[in-house]
Amino acid sequence: MKAPTIKNDLFVMLIFSAVILTMPIWLEPMGANYPDLLQKFAIFGIFAVGYNILFGLTGYLSFGHAAFLGIGSYTAVWSFKLLTMNIFPAIIFSVLISGLFAMLIGFITLRRSGIYFSILTLAFAQMFYNLAYSVLTPITNGETGLQLTRNDPRIIDRLFSEAGEGLPSTDFFGFAMSGYSGFYICAALLIITFFISQRIFHSPFGVKLRAIKSNQTRMKYTGYNTRPYLLAAFVISGMYAGLAGGLMAATDPLAGAERMQWTASGEVVLMTILGGVGTLIGPMLGVGIIKYFENIFSALNDQALLQAYAFMPDWLANIMVAITSPFVGEGWHLTLGALFVFIVIFLPGGIMEGIDRIKKLFTKKPVEPEKEGSLS
C-alpha cells in the first residue's frame, strides 16, 4: 500500500472523467443511455461520493443524510421561485444551507459514536421529514411538494425579461437542465466533487480521519481534538448531499418530503456498502448498479421476459418467466435485496474487494492484503 503519488492521482482523475463523460456512448448497448437515468447516475454519484467521506473515512454511519438531500432540494426550488431559473445561485444556496444544517445536526449527534450516532442522525432526519409535512408546510407545501408557479416573483429574471407564457424551465447560463446538456452539467459537477474527494482521501486530513476510524482513543492521546475533525467530515458530506439535492431540483423542479424519508438515507448506505466502503470508486459503482437495476429491472414485465427467452422452447420459456418474474418490475427490490445479502456475506468489502480478488488471481504474486481504502 504505497502512498499514491500525485501523478497517479491525476491519471485516475483523467480515466474517471473520460469514463463519466462518455457514459452516453458506452451505456447505449445496455439500454441505459437516456438522459433521465444518466442525470440520476451523476447526481446520486455526488451524494454517495460525499457520504463516503463521512462513512468511509471516519466509520461514522449516518442514517440521516437524506435530510440534507431534502434541504438542498427545497433551497433550490425556493431559489427558482424567488430569484432566477438559473441553477447557479440555486446550487450555491443548496450547498451552503445544507452545510449549515449539517453543522447544527453534527454538533449534536457527534457527541455519541457507533449505534447511538446512527440512531440520532436517523431521528433528526425523520424529524425533518415529519416537520416538512406538518408545521413547515408554508415552506415545503406539505404533501403536494414545493412547485414552481407562473406567479413566482423570480426577481433576477424579471430584471431582464417579462414573464413568459407557461412555466419556465431551469438552465445553467443558457444550457438547459433537461436532456443531455443537463447530464453534462451534472457530470461536470460530479467530476469536480470527485476530485475534491480524492484530494481529501490523500491529504493528511484524510489520513487523520482514517486514523479516527482505526483507533479514536490513540488519536486523543496523540494530541488531536477529534470532534472538529468529525464535524468537518460531517459538514463536507452534508454539503455534498445538499448539492445532490439541489441538482435533483434543478433537473426536475419539484421538491417533496419523501426525499428525506429514511428509505432515501438507507439507499445511500446501501450504495456505499455495495460498491465498497472507504474506496474512492466503490460508491460510484454502487450508484451505477442500484440506479440501473431500479430503472431497467423495474421496467421489465412478463412480456419483455418472454421476448428475452424467445430462443427457448415455449414450455421452458414459461417456466423461466415464472421463476424470474418476481425479480423484475415491482419486484426489483427483491433482486436488490438478494444482491445486497450476497455482497455483505461473500464480499464484505463490496464490489471493490471483488475486483481486488480478481486482480490477485491474475497477478499470482502473493500480495499483502490491501485494505488501504484508496484506489492506487
Partner 1 sequence: MSNTILEIDNVQKSFGGLKALSDLNLKIEEGKVHAIIGPNGAGKSTMLNVCIGQLSPDSGTVTFNGENLIGKSPHEINQTGISRVFQTPEIFPDLSLLQNVMIPAFAKREGAFKMNIFRSLSNEHDVQDEACKILEDIGLIGQLHSHAGSLSRGDKRRLELAMCLIQHPKLLLLDEPTAGMARLDTNKTIDLLKKIKEGGMTKIIIEHDMHVVFSVADHISVLAQGTIIASGTPDEIRGNPKVQEAYLGGAHL
In the complex, which residues of this chain contact partner 1 (CB under 8 A)? 1-6, 9, 196, 199-200, 202-208, 210-211, 213-215, 217-226, 228-229, 232, 368-369, 371-373
| Closest CB 216 distance from partner 1, rounded Å | 10
Closest to partner 1 by CB, 103 or 156: 103
Closest to partner 1 by CB, 211 or 268: 211
| Closest CB 88 distance from partner 1, rounded Å | 24
Nearest residue to 106 (alpha-carbon basis) of 134, 136, 67: 67
Taking the C-alpha atoms of residue 119 and residue 337, their distance in angstroms, rounded to an integer, is: 22
User: Helix or strand or coil: residue 359?
Assistant: helix
Question: Nearest 5°: CA angle at 66, between 87 and 264?
Answer: 110
Residue/partner pairs of 205-209 with CB below 8 Å, 24 or more apart: 205/229, 205/232, 206/57, 209/53, 209/57, 209/58, 209/233
| Closest CB 196 distance from partner 1, rounded Å | 8
Closest to partner 1 by CB, 246 or 373: 373
Residue 331 burial (CB count, 10 A): 16
| Closest CB 347 distance from partner 1, rounded Å | 18
Closest to partner 1 by CB, 209 or 281: 209
Residue 176 host element (H or E)? strand 175-176
Closest to partner 1 by CB, 66 or 209: 209
Q: 307-324 b/e with 16+ CB inside 10 Å = b? A: eebeeeeeeebeeebeeb
Closest to partner 1 by CB, 1 or 299: 1
Closest to partner 1 by CB, 256 or 282: 282
| Closest CB 193 distance from partner 1, rounded Å | 13
Beta carbons of 235 and 103 less than 8 angstroms apart = yes
| Closest CB 135 distance from partner 1, rounded Å | 36
Closest to partner 1 by CB, 205 or 309: 205
Closest to partner 1 by CB, 158 or 218: 218
| Closest CB 277 distance from partner 1, rounded Å | 12
Nearest residue to 280 (alpha-carbon basis) of 219, 194, 221: 194
Cell of 180: 443531455
> Beta 254-255 vs 171-172: how paired, if at all?
unpaired
Q: Any alpha helices (H) in the chain, and if so which ranges?
A: 6-21, 23-26, 35-58, 66-82, 87-109, 114-133, 137-140, 155-160, 179-201, 204-214, 216-221, 226-251, 262-275, 282-296, 302-308, 314-324, 332-346, 350-363
Taking the C-alpha atoms of residue 96 and residue 11, their distance in angstroms, rounded to an integer, is: 31
| Closest CB 373 distance from partner 1, rounded Å | 8
Please list the residues that pair with 86 across neighbouring strands: 171
Beta carbons of 262 and 69 less than 8 angstroms apart = no
| Closest CB 197 distance from partner 1, rounded Å | 10
